[in-house]
Each structure stands twice: as C-alpha cells, then as structure tokens.
C-alpha cells in the first residue's frame, strides 16, 4: 500500500492521506481533521464510497 499526503477537498487540511490499495484497485482518501472519506476505483475513477461531515451521503452521478 502506498500512501501520500493530499489536501483535504472538504476542509482543506494538509493532513489528509491517500492510500492506494492495489489488490482491490481502490484509492482511499481520508482526512483525520474532519472525518472526510472517499473511496474511488483506481481503474475507472468511479466513486465507490464517499462521506463528508454534514453530508449524509454523496453518490456518484
Ligand atoms: Zn478534512
């Protein structure tokens, strides 16, 4: 698993991390500052799971 720091797209914190999970071809982004979570498919870019505080559920269009 490879990790690297990103800026949170929800709160702007630079403490957010992106984890690449090769076995599942998923990219998981999470932010410890605001509990933001985003899981996307690395192959297609499709959003698998998304959560951000104040937003109950965010669905891919
Ligand atoms: Zn955040």
Q: pLDDT for 7-48, tens place per residue?
A: 998 999 999 999 999 999 999 999 999 999 999 999 999 999
Whether 61 is covered by a domain: the verdict is: no
Ligand 1 centroid–CA 36 distance in Å is 5
pTM over 0.85: no
Answer whether residue 60 shows pLDDT above 70: no
Ligand 1 centroid–CA 37 distance in Å is 9
Whether 59 is covered by a domain: the verdict is: no
Handedness of CA 42, 48, 53, 58 (dihedral sign): positive
Domain containing residue 36: 2-51
CA torsion angle 15 34 47 41 (round to 10)? 30
Ligand 1 centroid–CA 11 distance in Å is 4
> How many domains does the chain fold into?
1
Asked if 38 and 26 count as a contact pair (C-beta separation under 8 A), the reply is no
Ligand 1 centroid–CA 43 distance in Å is 25
DSSP 8-class letter at 55: B
pLDDT of res. 55: 56
Whether 60 is covered by a domain: the verdict is: no
């Amino acid at each position: 698993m490879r990790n690297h720091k990103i800026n949170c797209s929800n709160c702007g914190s630079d403490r957010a991390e992106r984890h690449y999970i090769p076995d599942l071809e998923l990219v998981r982004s999470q932010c410890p500052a605001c509990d933001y979570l985003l899981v996307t498919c690395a192959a297609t870019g499709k959003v698998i799971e998304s959560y951000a505080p104040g937003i109950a559920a965010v669905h891919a269009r």
